[in-house]
Amino acid sequence: MICGTIGEDYTAKFEIPKPLEQLQESEMERRYHISGVMTDVLGYLTYRFVESGFEWSLPVVFSESTDPLWPDPGASIEKRIDVEIYGKTVRTTASMIIHKMVACSLLYPRLFILSPNVRIEKRERAQTGRHTYEFTQLDFEVRDASSRDIRSLVEEVVCGLIGDLRRDAVEELVYLGRHRTLKTPEAPFKVYDMRELEKKYGKEWEQQLALEITDPVWVTSIPREFYDFEDESGKWDNYDLILPQYGEVLSGAKREWEYDKIIKKMERDGIKKEHYGLLLKLAKEGRLKQSAGAGIGIERLVGWIVGAQHLGETQLFPKIPGVVYDL
């Protein structure tokens, strides 16, 4: 692979990961070891969440309601996929945030989902090394939780995961050159306010921060979609987890649950209310409960762990912006 800085403003181009049938023997062996780490990561995460009392729910692929990805400044979508089913227009899942909020309010106080996400990124993002147009999140939500509760849970899980891998995935990490350099981070992670980072670095704060840190850090109070909680002063009760070199791997928040606030924010941001009819109905009836949660990008998490030059290396069938392989 060609080395370079992973970031939106990349200074070096990365070799696009090839499909399985085009890999040389050494490349196939590297992909095999990355897949071994992926298996260990998924096994550890799902075990930890189940052991912590979370219900494991199945994902949704098509829905009338999905994440609007607006006005999140990190979104860069070239197109959205609309399909007609039984006379209804549905979209491919961009994230299961709406589904989580509903399920957490009505059924499961604690749930998680290995959720597929389809986000047709702009073609130039193929060269950042950290974008794919299909990826998987471990999406989870907890009723009556605070942001601090969720951040503490994530810190515990991330530290436990790295410690577990350093003990049980020695062969894979040694082969990938990461056993010596991958260290278990110290909790609690440092916390930064986005407004302060923007003052220091400008709009490219995430890229610059990722280049400077050596351990995961939190960034809070990020202006985002209507479902993240915002107080009367305009401060957002949300958080991103930033990894060294790889940037944001997790986004989460305390959620809005009051009907009037949700409506006001939808109107402010130009969000079509008809796409969120059930959510609004539940909020109006007082059945939408307070919750907090997050979504962990599996490919980025594994990419950081194994030192992938491009996230396509973590996928059995790479989904690179602007590139469509046979499988």
> Which DSSP category does 124 fall into?
G
pTM over cut 0.75: yes
Q: What pLDDT is attached to residue 2?
A: 27
Both tokens of 325, joined, read 């392989």
- Using alpha carbons, select from 222, 217, 223, 204 the residue that is nearest to residue 243: 217
Q: What pLDDT is attached to residue 75?
A: 78
Q: What pLDDT is attached to residue 13?
A: 63
Q: What pLDDT is attached to residue 71?
A: 84
CA–CA distances in Å: residue 202 to residues 1, 59, 132, 207: 30, 37, 25, 10
* Cα–Cα distance, 38 to 41 (Å, whole number): 5
* Cα–Cα distance, 148 to 294 (Å, whole number): 12
Domains of the chain: 20-314 (3.30.930.10)
Q: What pLDDT is attached to residue 141?
A: 98
Whether residue 244 contacts residue 216, with contact meaning beta carbons closer than 8 Å, is answered with yes
* Cα–Cα distance, 117 to 139 (Å, whole number): 11
Q: What pLDDT is attached to residue 77?
A: 87
> Which DSSP category does 5 fall into?
-
Per-residue confidence in pLDDT tens, the chain, 327 aa: 223 333 444 344 678 999 999 999 999 999 999 999 999 999 999 999 999 999 999 999 999 999 999 887 777 888 899 999 999 999 999 999 999 999 999 999 999 999 999 999 999 999 899 999 999 999 999 999 999 999 999 999 999 999 999 999 999 999 999 999 999 999 999 999 999 999 999 999 999 999 999 999 999 999 999 999 999 999 999 999 999 999 999 999 999 999 999 999 999 999 999 999 999 999 999 999 999 999 999 999 999 999 999 999 999 999 999 999 999
Whether residue 219 contacts residue 196, with contact meaning beta carbons closer than 8 Å, is answered with no
Q: What pLDDT is attached to residue 178?
A: 97
Whether residue 81 contacts residue 91, with contact meaning beta carbons closer than 8 Å, is answered with yes
